[in-house]
Structure 1
């Protein structure tokens, strides 16, 4: 094609990214988002690992730990609900960098809390930033990933969250005696603050967002030239299908093509995060009740996130090759069976294996649920769709944190707790499975009756 012809053609940025191999630039974006969610996971999980030390210092009751756990989760919920629509209007990059700076500063400030009331307030403020960081990291990575590799790249990126959470247990086990719980909170704040200038200089805006929100051709071409050096042609126009509906990004969640699927995804996220955060926050104490030392309990609880890392990697490959909704639903069912088996665990080895398998299935499936949500919605409200699903999930997380406190205070045994926790895992499986059925029908209707594809490369 000569230069004259080139100037009169346009290329969809989605097709451009899909047609190119994964480049070092795209890997860099995934690595930066990996670091963000790793710090996110560390900051969220650390409160569960240091809770026994806070309780001992301030002589707190078991029930009083519930508000401490839930304050950060409430902040996560509010942050997610606010950040999604904001990112769909002003950009993923701006909101992401602001969120990282915010949770870094407030986490560092929480290290100086004089009492539990101040600590609860500062954990809420920290949660606002954490709630904005995660969905936008997911969205930005998704929009720079070729769709044929989206599941693998997103789950590898999101492994940062599980690794960060697991690192919280390891760091607590080895450093808390020397620096105390305040030192660990300070560490959780200083690390993201150090990352902010790196993000400012290197993290790009989503080209799909720029293409539908009035970005210049110069901006878009410059970014695409880093995605695929040598493939950007002078004078070529780069566009994207403007899939905005005549309503706000939030209202689009309830459009007839997305409404039922949205509610089903919310059910899955609510139940999955209720289960995960109850385990993340209370597993160290449950392990301690089983006769382990605080150090052993912290290391033991890290198995949950370790299993989640392996589960995310394995399931990420599977959802790129097979029906993603069925893969995730089946894995949630396996997680329910693993949890039920913990009620009969006899000895530390069985308990450790059961927790690792639970992490593989439940935490790994939750990572893949994020991938599904990022593929479910169009560009115009993708950040909102992911953020609001996570926000609804945070409501479940708050319920899990309070529920754990109530059940333990009521005298429930570890075995009874593990049995009842199999129920939300089964409900998460049901929500994902039905959402997949609904999404397939919606895609068929949009395609004029053509049978819808089921892989992530087509949604």
Structure 2
């Protein structure tokens, strides 16, 4: 190779195999998502013990259960623009430290108010960590495998939530409910030490933000030593017409329609997810199932997250917007079918599992879709705002079913209403596809060594 060549960073990543260094980044991001799932779900598992020990009624738990959801939304909305300004690595490290310390602190809470406040802070950390893990991972992926790898990483979330259930079932009788929060706090602090030592900054971010040439070269050289042959690094991609950053790009004329449709689809998906997860055991019991069966059948719903890897492969091969739109459309059909299957146990189990697979597949594919949609200068904000605004869908989903139940909607009518959200998400992604968004302007960042 001649010594005077310039390397296009993304082309370089595309041309080399996904090697040990990228798997290390993947592993760290996967564990962050896993802990996110564990910490988000942990409060639900310790809730029964809280009721007993603190002599509370069920309604008293509402603030604690929703505090983390509000924190998640705030953390995502604030952290996105910050990661586009300060970098992915420092933000990810701060977020992991924050949710580790807050979760550990909540193990020592003495009142419901203290626990609620600490859950909110834990939520802010979790809300900031998740989108940044997606963004960083996406920027180290070759284009042709990005959706598959991000979706694989996202499988950590349902795994973490499920592991939380099994661990809590074993830990609470032996060590009390506080032990679950101690575990959920200490583990991220150990991970933070690993992240501080091993996690690189995104190369695409460094080139786009004119970071020192040597840092870019040293990071790329861990993918392949061919990086040492280069005199300059460039990044060619769609840019905002005004050369803006963060939120300026996400809301710019070229991206605004796609942004709003991503928010809409993710919001509607979480309406279905939380409406089902929070209410299905109660609704099935009211429909005549014994409590134990109702609980076990409901547990099939979040299990469906494994379909995401297959969906990632399809997204890398076909039109990603249409692949996910189809999943949401089929989710709507299967959620509607849950309401029709009330009397038939076999059909009910099959339909709930199918709905869970389709719903979780669509939902966990959305971050990869957002990461591919935005350019580097706006990617952190784009992914984070979709996740942040979407979290309000989770809050809305829980209230929606409560309101429908208050108005005496029947089992079939409640699921028919919730199914509408899937249809809306499907249409939103088809509009995003139709509106386009990328293309045109090209930025080229050049870095040369200082002689």
What TM-score do you get using the length of structure 2 for normalisation?
0.90
Indicate if the aligned counterparts of 1:306 and 1:359 stay in contact, CA closer than 8 A: yes
Number of the residue aligned with 1:187: 183
Q: 2: distance between equivalents of 1:107 and 1:125?
A: 8
SS of residue in 1 equivalent to 2:7 = strand
Out of 344, 357, 361, the residue aligned to residue 358 of structure 2 is 361
TM-score (norm 1): 0.88
Q: Which residue of 2 aligns with 1:233?
A: 228
8 Å contact 2:273–2:394 — kept in the other structure? yes
Question: Could you tell me which residue of structure 2 aligns to residue 387 of structure 1?
Answer: 384
Aligned position for 1:261: 258
Q: Closer, same or farther in 2 for the Cα pair 1:278/1:97, shift >3 Å? A: farther
2:304 maps to 307
Corresponding residue number in structure 2 for 1:271: 268
Which of 308, 313, 320 is the matching residue for 1:317? Answer: 313
Q: Is residue 216 of structure 2 the alignment partner of residue 220 of structure 1?
A: yes
Cα deviation, 1:77-98, whole Å, max 9, x if unaligned, reads 1101110011001110110111
Relative distance call for 1:421 and 1:397 in structure 2 (3 A) is: same
Three-state SS of the structure 1 residue aligned to 2:233 is strand
* 2:37 corresponds to 1:38: no
Deviation digits for residues 172-207 of structure 1 (CA, Å, limit 9, x no counterpart): 344333333332222222221221101111111000
Change (3 A) 1:129 1:298: farther
Shift of 1:103: 0.8
Deviation at 1:277, TM superposition (A): 2.6
Q: Give the Å deviation of 1:283.
A: 4.3
* Mapped pair 1:341 → 2:337: yes
Structure 2's unaligned 5+ residue stretches are 443-451
1:315, distance to aligned residue in structure 2 (A): 0.5
Which aligned pairs between 1:113-128 and structure 2 lie closer than 5 A?
A: 113-128=109-124
Contact conserved, 2:258 with 2:435, CA < 8 A, in 1? yes
Residues 57 and 300 of structure 1: is their aligned pair in 2 closer, same or farther, counting only changes over 3 Å? Answer: farther
Per-residue CA deviations over 1:50-88 (Å, capped at 9, x if unaligned) read 334434444544444433222111111110111001100
Deviation of 1:348 (Å): 5.3
The question of whether the paired residues in 1 share the 8 Å contact of 2:245 and 2:377 is answered with: no
Q: Summarize the Cα distance change of 1:214–1:299 in structure 2 as closer, same or farther, 3 Å threshold.
A: farther
**Separation (CA, whole Å) in 1 of partners of 2:229 and 2:259:** 41
Alpha-carbon spacing, 1:60–1:418, altered in 2? closer, same or farther (3 Å): farther
| Aligned residue number for residue 162 of structure 2 | 166
> Which of 395, 399, 417 does residue 396 from structure 2 map onto?
399
- Give the number of equivalent residue pairs: 437
Where does the alignment leave 5 or more consecutive residues of structure 1 unmatched? 448-459
Q: Once superposed, what is the RMSD of the aligned Cα atoms?
A: 2.4
Change in CA separation of 1:408 and 1:151 when aligned onto 2, cut-off 3 Å: same
Per-residue CA distance 1:5-43 (angstroms, 9 max, x = gap): x22x21111111011111111111111111100100111
